[in-house]
Amino acid sequence: MLQQVLEGTEASSLVVIEDCVDHDGRPVFHCFCSQLAKRCESVHLFHLENPAGVFLEGANISKVQSHDGFSDPLQWEEQNRDPSSDRIDLASALDFLGHLKRTPVKTSPVAVVIDSLTPFLQNYPGYVICRALQRLLRARLESDGIEVSQVVAGFHGDLHDDSTAAALRHMATTWVQLQEGAESPTQGGAGFHGNCEVLHRRKSGKVIRQAEVYHISPQWSLTSRVQKAPVRPVAHVEQEAQVDPTANLTFNLRLTDTEKEARSRVVLPYMHHHRKKAPNKPAANPGGQIFYQPDDVDDFDEEDPDDDLDF
């Protein structure tokens, strides 16, 4: 699934890659940048934790528009700022779409890559980030002049609370949670491999969750496969012979046919009233009867049944 999303064969509008301190997500991010630069006409890169060159190696730089939030995110060196470069100011209002509109866009739709949402989440509430991402995903040519086909964003899961991660996971079409990763030396250079869990929502509404193993070549091409669960050996339990609990008793719990017939003739206590009838007395008619015995103080007059009442 991860490879299909990366190559664009499985449609996904918002891809969030969650990593942590021990699981670096930069190699996977590099693969997405390289692949998007190959199959998209324009890619906008918002980089806040790494210089742009980290993700542009092997990619078509002419297609990538960089939005710098790494050099001076708080605009402390504004007098030395290059007016031609697009700098991200974390102290200003957050608006991804506004940065895209200020940049001349030749073709649409475009792809957007945000190397990390953590610096934004440290300066803005979570709902502001979700609203900015939602506005970016809903951009259309008719109203905004630009259309975004896919957004890829990074997220450091160990630096934020569960509610923030749940809000982003609810928005994301594909959520990639990196679990283990390591560098693997090869003949052509250093590659990477690791494990991840992919949660993907298709347009039909079907949700797919897979544990996958990925491998990244030195040429930044990614291959993945579904991780198979380890096969556990089946424990051979010797079937013990079933022991008869009535074998060594001093009395017998089983009845013979004669004993069973005698038991069936026994009159049970709750059936005794049926046997109580005299032989020469006819059976009473079935049905309910009411017997009333008046008390001594009762003053009942058939002509005036309410005569004893005081009004």
Q: What confidence tier does 13 reach under pLDDT thresholds 50, 70, 90?
A: confident
Q: Would you state the pLDDT for residue 173?
A: 92
- Asked whether residue 120 carries a pLDDT value surpassing 60, the answer given is yes
Residue 145 to residue 219: CA distance in whole angstroms? 35
In tens, the pLDDT along 29-77 reads 888 888 887 778 788 888 888 777 666 665 566 778 888 877 766 666 6
Q: What is the pLDDT of residue 174?
A: 92
Of 6-20, 212-226, 286-300, the one with minimum mean pLDDT is 286-300
**Could you tell me which residues come within 8 angstroms of residue 37 by beta carbon, excluding any fewer than 6 positions away?**
43, 59, 60, 63, 64
Check residue 175 and give its pLDDT: 92
**Cβ atoms 47, 70 nearer than 8 A:** yes
Note the Cα 132 to chain centre separation in Å: 22
pTM of the full structure: 0.66
pLDDT at 80 over 70: no
Predicted pLDDT of residue 85: 59
Query: pLDDT, tens digit, for every residue of 232-290?
Result: 665 555 556 677 777 778 888 788 889 889 988 887 766 655 555 545 555 555 556 77
Lowest mean pLDDT among 101-115, 146-160, 202-216: 101-115
Radius of gyration of the chain (CA): 40
The overall longest dimension of the chain from CA atoms, in Å, is: 125
Report residue 47: phi and psi, to 5°: -115, 125
Q: Give the three-class secondary structure for 211.
A: strand
d(CA 229, CA 231): 6
- Domains by residue range for the chain, with CATH: 2-229 (3.40.50.300), 259-295 (no CATH)
The residues pairing with 123 across neighbouring beta strands, listed in sequence order, are none
Burial environment of residue 101 by CB neighbours within 10 A (0 to 12, 13 to 18, 19 or more): middle
User: What's the pLDDT at 284?
Assistant: 54
More confident of the two residues 28 and 74? 28
> With 60 as the cut, is the pLDDT of residue 231 above it?
no
Residues 138-195: pLDDT tens digits? 888 777 788 888 899 988 888 888 888 999 999 999 999 988 777 766 555 567 888 8
